Amino acid sequence: MIEIDEIEVLLVEDNPNDAELAIRSLKKHNLANNVHWVKDGAEALEYVFGNDPDTAPHMNGGLKFILLDLKMPKVNGKEVLKKIKADPKTNSIPVVVMTSSNDDQDVEECYRLGANSYITKPVEFEKFTKVVADLGYYWMIINDYPHR
Partner 1 sequence: MSGNKTKDPPGLADKLRRSEKEITLRNESADVFLTIPDDEMYNEILKLVLPATESAFGAFGYLDENKSLVVPSMAGHLPSKYRVQKKNISFPRDAWGDNSWCRAIREKKAIYSNKPSTNMLGHHITNQRHISLPVLFRGEVIGLFQIANKKTDYNEADVQRLEIIAGFVAPELNARLQRERYEEQGQMAKENIRDREAKFRSIFEQAAIGIARMGIDGRWLEVNQRFSDIVGYTPQELMKLTFRDITHPDDLKNDLEYVRRLISGEIDNYTMEKRYIRKDGSEIWINVTGSGVRKPSGEPEYFITTVEDISQKKRAQTELIQMSKVFMDGRNPILIEDLSGNILRMNKEAERFYGFTSDELVGQPVTAIVAPEHHEQNRELQERCISGGAVRNVEGIRCDRSGKEIPVLQTLSLLKDEKGNPEAIASMVQDITELKLAEKQTQRVAVVEAANRELETFSYSISHDLRAPLRAIDGYSHIIVEDYRDRLDDEGKRLLDVVSDNARKMGELINDILELSRLSRQQLTPSIIDMKILAQSTFEELRAAAPEQKIVLKVESPPPARGDRVLIQQVMSNLLANAIKFTGNKATAVIEVGGSRKNSECTYFVRDNGAGFDMQFADKLFGMFQRLHSEEEFEGTGIGLSIVQRIIHRHGGRVWAEGQVGEGATLYFSLPSDRG
| 101 scored as a contact of partner 1 (CB under 8 A) | yes
| 5 scored as a contact of partner 1 (CB under 8 A) | no
Q: Considering only residues 34, 60, 100, 117, which one is a binding residue for partner 1 as defined by CB under 8 A?
A: 100
CA 125 to chain centre: 20
Q: Considering only residues 52, 126, 142, 147, which one is a binding residue for partner 1 as defined by CB under 8 A?
A: 126
90 vs 129, which CB is nearer to partner 1?
129
54 vs 124, which CB is nearer to partner 1?
124
What is each CA distance from 50 to 46, 54, 102, 120, in whole angstroms?
Answer: 5, 9, 31, 29
Are the C-beta atoms of 122 and 109 separated by less than 8 Å?
no
Distance CA 62, CA 144 (A): 13
Residue from 46, 41, 93, 115 nearest 72 by CA: 41
Q: Considering only residues 5, 15, 34, 49, which one is a binding residue for partner 1 as defined by CB under 8 A?
A: 15
| 121 scored as a contact of partner 1 (CB under 8 A) | yes
Which residues of this chain interact with partner 1, rule CB under 8 A?
15, 17-18, 21, 24, 100-104, 121-126, 128-129
